[in-house]
Amino acid sequence: MKLTTLTALVASIEEGSLRGAARRVGVSQPALTKMLRELEVELGTTLLERTSRGVLPTAQGKVLYEHAVNVGKELGAAVDTINQLGGRMVGELTVGAVPLAVMLLMPETLRTFGREFPAVRLRVTEELYIAQLQRLRKGEVDVAVGGVPDDLSRGEFVVEPLMTTRMVVVVRKAHPLARATSLQDLAAAKWVYTGATPQSGYARTLFEQHGLKAPSGGATVNSTLALLSLLSTGDFVGLMPQQIAEHPLAKHFLSIVPVAERGLDLQVAAMLRRESEVLPAVRHFIAHLHRAAYHHTREARPAGE
């Protein structure tokens, strides 16, 4: 099985037509058709169905496509690693980051890293809740930047602490509970949980940390926009990093509730898969993250400290 034929299959499925696939691969359509036919003969099965609208993968074609895509990613990563070990800083770096990191760390990190390594393509995807770290486990991102869950497997991941934040209770301006003085006052409120389920939310951790029963979840969201929308326009209560709640984009719509209990302290870190080969570009990126975190922490520190 040749890599060129696998590339032809991937292109055909993703383009949905042999003409588009041939153009993408850089060969004639007859040549592409021959490559695909050779692959089908080699495997003894049909991989593509020809229709009036183009081509569709068969069940067997889908299986081979998924593996071919993974092979392409692995080979691409190998080429990047070889180049970078040889001193050529090229390739692509994908980062998954929580909104706090996107707001406070990424602008400076991308500026300084991009200036030093302009040939490395950076992709940053925002992740509201990364406790399960699924994208990192699957290899869809090279680095995850966010809060470190209490149940994080340190044997599975390498953790590089960057900064700390505090999750505070927030509501919309003029909310009936805006002046609540204890978590107990908020126990019956409609809470917005961030994450896959209310059982994994930070609000549950905060209440249990203070010996209280976790409130019922009024809604569960997994996007920054949904969280801000629900909190700023409804009667929901939620948790948010203090730096975001006090940011000019949010503070005109949200209020921090002055409860007596301390907010939930959260360590923000860069996380890597322990078993994976760490690209030199990743190591440099984390160094720039540390730099950005240091400067932010120093600037945020009150005068005289």
> What CATH number did the domain enclosing 11 receive?
1.10.10.10
Query: Residues 299, 152: one domain?
Result: yes
191 and 255 co-located in one domain: yes
Number of residues written out for the chain: 305
Q: How many domains does the chain have?
A: 2
Measured CA to CA, the distance from residue 130 to residue 147 in angstroms comes to 7
pLDDT of the residue at 198:
61
133 shares a domain with 219: yes
Q: What is the CATH number for 244?
A: 3.40.190.290
Give residue 128's pLDDT.
67
The alpha carbon of 17 is separated from its chain's Cα centroid by a whole number of angstroms, namely 32
- 283 with 156, same domain: the answer is yes
> And the tokens for 167?
């999750």
Statement to judge: residues 67 and 99 lie in one domain:
no
pLDDT under 50: residue ranges of the chain = 131, 303-305
Q: Are residues 159 and 110 in the same domain?
A: yes
What is the reported pLDDT for 42?
92
Q: CA 259, 265, 267 angle in degrees (round to 5)?
A: 160
- Residue 305's pLDDT is what? 46
What distance in Å separates the CA atoms of residue 139 and residue 12, rounded to the nearest whole number?
Answer: 24
Kind of pairing between the strands at 120-126 and 91-97: parallel
* 220 shares its domain with 294: yes
What's the rounded Cα separation, in Å, for the pair 164 and 170? 19
* Same domain membership, residue 304 and residue 284: yes
pLDDT of res. 151: 66
CB 63 within 8 A of CB 45: no
Contacts of 21-24 spanning 24+ positions with Cβ under 8 A: none
Same domain, 115 and 258: yes
Residues 144 and 202 occupy one common structural domain: yes
> Could you list the residue range(s) of the whole structural domain that residue 279 is in?
91-305
pLDDT at position 54: 87
